[in-house]
Chains A and B, each alone.
Chain A
Amino acid sequence: DGGITQSPKYLFRKEGQNVTLSCEQNLNHDAMYWYRQDPGQGLRLIYYSQIVNDFQKGDIAEGYSVSREKKESFPLTVTSAQKNPTAFYLCASREDRVEKNEQFFGPGTRLTVL
């Protein structure tokens, strides 16, 4: 049963703490993405990775970090430098072929910083 999993579904953290959000896919996709979704702002791209051991900043990378040590996994760390971390975070993956290049999304993680 192929898909993308994100854990946990809800996450609470104290201000000033780093927190890592998990994203795993078993679709054998090369490309993976992290977005945050805020009301009225749609999905904004944080980081993306086209291949293992490589990643690029998106439009709002400040205060976030990622790693891509394995094809299946693309964890996102929300650091204490992120000024407004409370949000809904979505992970996606994509098969990098012209006719099959749509993204598949995970269920998301809602992060609340207290």
Chain B
Amino acid sequence: AQSVSQHNHHVILSEAASLELGCNYSYGGTVNLFWYVQYPGQHLQLLLKYFSGDPLVKGIKGFEAEFIKSKFSFNLRKPSVQWSDTAEYFCAVISSASKIIFGSGTRLSIRP
């Protein structure tokens, strides 16, 4: 069965530190990959997505992610985090038949 793993459950960083959140998926076919963010008290919203082409994808608010097919990974990165990046981050994959699976989420806390 397809699955998505986010190994970091809670990450705590200082402002201006660099960020990398891990995401691995298990599915051998063609996938579309997503990162969503949920700010405190707000809806889930899309950060970025990959469906084909350049494996380095840039999203909103300075985030980017790299699709590495050989590693089944789609890690999220940001060179310098801000206090306003405090949120929960979810990786998701669509494989076949419109089924979308989410990872367990990573809570990011930024120290001012």
Q: State which of A13-21, A35-43, A71-79 sits at the interface with chain B.
A: A35-43
Cα(A42)–Cα(B89), bound, Å: 9
Contact among B51, B90, B98 for A42, CB-based, below 8 A: B90
Q: Are A101 and B32 in contact (CB under 8 A)?
A: yes
Q: Are A94 and B49 in contact (CB under 8 A)?
A: no
Tell whether A50 pairs with B98 under 8 Å between CB atoms, given A40-B104, A41-B104, A42-B105: yes
Using Cβ atoms and an 8 Å threshold, which residues of chain A touch B32? 98, 101
Prevailing SS type, chain A contact patch: strand
Using Cβ atoms and an 8 Å threshold, which residues of chain B touch A59? 101
Interface: B87 (CB within 8 A): no
Which residue of chain B lies nearest to A98 when distances are taken between CB atoms in the complex? B51
Contact among B34, B52, B102 for A102, CB-based, below 8 A: B34
Cα(A13)–Cα(B10), bound, Å: 32
Cα(A35)–Cα(B101), bound, Å: 10
Q: Are A43 and B43 in contact (CB under 8 A)?
A: no
Residue among B45, B97, B102, B105 with most chain A CB within 10 A:
B102
A90 to chain B, nearest CB (A): 7
